[in-house]
Structure 1
């Protein structure tokens, strides 16, 4: 998905996030096993999302909900969610 700064957006993050969550869930349940190189690429992808996702919102807001979302603006970014997913993936890998 390179270059990240041009291709990473709200919609692409939504679909990538769904795939990563499914991967983490299946790894935690021991339903699948993946080579270490693939896991390292996933971790690198999430690190890149942390870098380039600072200003990318994860929620598409309209005029009515914009005021409510301003308070939790830091939690509604790709960077925040990528850090959470990376922490979950590392936890599953290490256990």
Structure 2
């Protein structure tokens, strides 16, 4: 991955991933990340969507329980939240945050204060930017409880605050 050698990285990492077949989570996170980034940087990612990198970061690190780094990548990849915060990215992001809350509640891990600060800042931004971003692709009807990213971000922040007590 050094010196923008993305094509060489693909040549190196692709056989490692192919070797495991369907058991992709047995591959280390750094191998998956480097391969995905190499595909993206050489415009070989499947959908060529701007949000593809966001979802790659969300899934790889949190599936591997590498929350400290994964959460920082999630936050960074969803910046600016006004452009990238939408139903799909929020769907995956909130699951990673909920998995982190679960691990913290079970006292399986401890986070640095700086990580908590980053989470708080991100959830505050999601709260302010997500007032009109609904958490379902279906449009809310009148009288229905319409969940927005803003509302769910506030709920997540409350969970993190409770855990720190």
TM-score of the aligned structures, taking structure 2 as reference length: 0.51
Moved over 4 A (4+): none
Give the total of aligned pairs. 88
- RCO greater where, 1 or 2, for CA within 8 Å and sep 6 or more? 1
1:34 is displaced (CA, Å) by 1.1
1:78 aligns with 2:149: yes
Larger Rg: 2
Task: Name structure 2 gaps, 5 residues minimum.
Answer: 1-77
Give the alignment's Cα RMSD to 1 decimal. 1.4
User: Quick one: distance in 2 between partners of 1:60 and 1:22?
Assistant: 23
- Residue in 1 that maps onto 2:131: 54
Within 5 Å, which residues of 2 pair with 1:5-16?
Answer: 5-16=82-93
User: Which piece of structure 1 moves more, 49-58 or 31-40?
Assistant: 31-40
Task: Name structure 1 gaps, 5 residues minimum.
Answer: none
- Residue in 2 that maps onto 1:91: 162
User: Quick one: distance in 2 between partners of 1:72 and 1:18?
Assistant: 23
